[in-house]
Amino acid sequence: MLGKSQSEQDRQCSRFKPHGAITVWPEGNLIRLELKGPFNREFFASLRSLNADLYADFNSQGPFVEIAVFHHSMLMSSATIDEFGAVLLERQTTGHAPLATAWVISPEIKDAFVVLPHVTKKFEQAQRPFMWFRTLREAEEWVRGFLG
């Protein structure tokens, strides 16, 4: 499974359609994610099975980091943010969490500042280093520092 791109469209776990889109692929010890919002709870619930497969396989290869690049919107309801937090905690407790996560958020995503304080708290609760950046280069430099 390593090396193959996957998306949430491959996994649907509810009678409600997930809102949001993601494509995930590994590059060495870095997992790259491209996301397009807004997002709903079902979107993050659908990631559970994707995480179970992809991240378990990836974790067996050794320590890794991840970078998520957001497009269009990051808008999430409080219930969606709670579901996102549950996914983070689940990955932490199963040992499938990256060493660190960086998000790349362009200035055009105006709703980021509504969401960021809440998701930052979820990362803190999961005890995962997290930072957001305006450029991919900055994000790559930061996460690669966790790989030694």
Per-residue pLDDT 10s for the chain (148 aa) are: 344 444 444 444 445 577 899 999 999 999 999 999 999 998 988 887 776 777 777 777 889 999 999 999 999 999 999 999 999 999 898 888 999 999 999 999 999 999 999 999 999 999 999 999 999 999 999 999 999 8
The domain segmentation of the chain, as residue ranges, is: 6-147
pLDDT digits (tens, 9 = 90+) for 28-63: 999 999 999 999 998 988 887 776 777 777 777 889
Rounded to whole angstroms, the Cα distance separating 145 from 114 reads: 28
Q: To which CATH superfamily is domain 6-147 assigned? A: STAS domain (3.30.750.24)
| Both tokens assigned to 43 | 């979107």
Query: Phi and psi of 69, rounded to 5°?
Result: -110, 120
Amino acid 3: pLDDT: 46
**What is the model's pTM?**
0.85
